[in-house]
Chain A
């Protein structure tokens, strides 16, 4: 089993739609969780950290379910500019080493 698993997509959604991505992780000792965004042929950039209580940043909501070992990202009112690959990232050690998922590609269609 991969350490971090994501549905690669692509998810094709119309503007204004709500879309959700899930990511599962195998290491129950993982402590830190993140969503990064990567535009085509660009470097990854932090979108948001994921906290145990769940957190929201504008149209984006991230949640963590430790019992089932998954995290989710919800995007409301999708914009064309949201089109990108969303990478699930999990801390896999006691320090700063993290493991990236393969990414989920989102295409928002006019």
Chain B
């Protein structure tokens, strides 16, 4: 079946601009995560959705970052007034509402964001 998809695959923008990154999770997965990965680092947690609600947004670095998942499926990560330090690969993952100990997350291919 189809995996997690993310669009666009690459995004180049200028400092100060607004960007939206989209994630389409695996059908039926109620949990959705956004991560940010910089070169040489592991994925850094940003936000987690269970259904439509953000269960934990403690990883969002500041109020320029916002994410929504209005119908409990597709999610959009929104970044306002982009800065050069926002350049990274943004990864989305989804998982079933897992039984204990079976929290496998399935990742999308990521969106590579470059802020000039």
Contacts and interface: CB of A to CB of B under 8 A. Distances in A.
Contact of A96 (B42, B44, B103, B108): B103
B97 to A, nearest CB: 8
B56 A46 contact: no
A43 B109 contact: yes
B43 A100 contact: yes
Nearest to A98: B103
Interface residues of B, number: 26
Interface in A80-108: 87, 91, 93, 95-103
Contacts of A51: 101
B116 interface: no
A98 B45 CA distance: 8
Contacts of A42: 109
Interface in A1-49: 4, 8, 31-32, 34, 42-46, 49
Contacts of B100: 31-32
B106 to A, nearest CB: 8
A31 B102 CA distance: 11
A93 to B, nearest CB: 7
B102 to A, nearest CB: 8
A87 B107 CA distance: 14
Contact of B95 (A44, A87, A96): A96
Contacts of A96: 31, 33, 48, 50, 95, 98, 103, 105
Interface string B13-56: 00000000000000000010101000011111100101000011
Interface of A: 4, 8, 31-32, 34, 42-46, 49, 51, 87, 91, 93, 95-103
Interface of B: 31, 33, 35, 40-45, 48, 50, 55-56, 91, 95, 98, 100-105, 107-110
Given A43-B107, A87-B42, 12 more contacts: A31-B101, A32-B101, A32-B103, A42-B109, A43-B91, A44-B43, A49-B102, A95-B48, A95-B56, A96-B103, A102-B42, A103-B41
